[in-house]
Amino acid sequence: MPLVNMRSLLAQAEPAGYAVGAFNVANMEMILGTIRAAEACRSPLILQVAQGRLAHSPLALIGPMMVAAARAASVPVAVHFDHGRDVETIGQALALGFTSVMIDGSHLPFEENLALTRQVKRLADTHGAAVEAEVGQLGGSEDDEEARGMLHSDPEEVRALAEGTGVDAIAMSIGNAHGLYKGEVRLRFSLLETARRLVSTPLVLHGGTGIDAADFQRCIRCGVRKINIATASFLAAEGAARTYAEQPACDWFRLSAAMADATRSNVIEHIRIFGSEGKADAS
């Protein structure tokens, strides 16, 4: 059941009305914890790494580890390249066996985003991989470097991108932000509802950390089928490392296990909210 195309996971989520969690990872402990969570919940999973994090987790090392972990899993796992910025690096991910890639052209004028997304779609098609694109910019930053201002997605552009490219998923900006929210989270659900009436393409919610269960579930009712969680997993692993390091006697292997376990707990919590628990065996 192991390494699968993201397209099939999202297609199964649609009629059943749940979202598949897409969890970012940075090392082996996080990969192990994330996969173990999905297996414990019998949930489908999207395992992802963002291009902006490759300085810490080189693609040539973490990519094969993610693909191998997905192949060995007892639940269906899609391996996804998050926030791809250029065609060359996306090509490297595809060559390593990623079954899904994101091209983030959301900072570009719409016509350029469309052209770049088409180029990536053609490339991904040669590998049989799925493609996620983005319309509208999220606040915050997916790599701590380039913090962007927020630009809400225009549902008409979501339609134009879907029709002009045939991508498998589209990320929208509805007031969500990468990293920790400063102040109250205010999501514009009406943008999802309008986009949903215009396209059948599964919608993606980035910036999951800090959004509460009720808002996640409302997004899912509005057609979101993939939800990205990064910061919450990083904080869980880091917090476990801090707590463990305060103990009088520490060893590396227990520290490693503590980070994997903390990642696992965070992922389980989100899988339950997203409604994908128990859905692996239907896949």
Binding stretches for ligand 13P (CB under 6 A): 24, 50, 82-83, 142, 178-179, 206-209, 228-232
CA distance 203 to 274: 14
- The answer to whether the beta carbons of residues 226 and 46 sit under 8 Å apart is yes
Beta strand ranges found along 167-269 (DSSP E): 169-172, 203-205, 224-229
- Smallest distance from ligand 13P to CB 204, Å: 9
- The answer to whether the beta carbons of residues 274 and 216 sit under 8 Å apart is yes
C-beta of 44 vs 179, nearer to ligand 13P = 179
C-beta of 50 vs 120, nearer to ligand 13P = 50
Residue 125 is a catalytic residue: no
Could you give the 3-state DSSP secondary structure of residue 229? Answer: strand
C-beta of 42 vs 85, nearer to ligand 13P = 85
- DSSP bridge partners of 177: 139
| Angle between helical axes of 155-165 and 110-127 (0-180°, round to 10) | 40
- The answer to whether the beta carbons of residues 204 and 170 sit under 8 Å apart is yes
- Smallest distance from ligand 13P to CB 194, Å: 22
- Smallest distance from ligand 13P to CB 179, Å: 5
C-beta of 83 vs 121, nearer to ligand 13P = 83
- Smallest distance from ligand 13P to CB 21, Å: 11
Q: How many helices (H) and strands (E) does the chain have?
A: 10, 8
Q: Which residues are catalytic?
A: 82
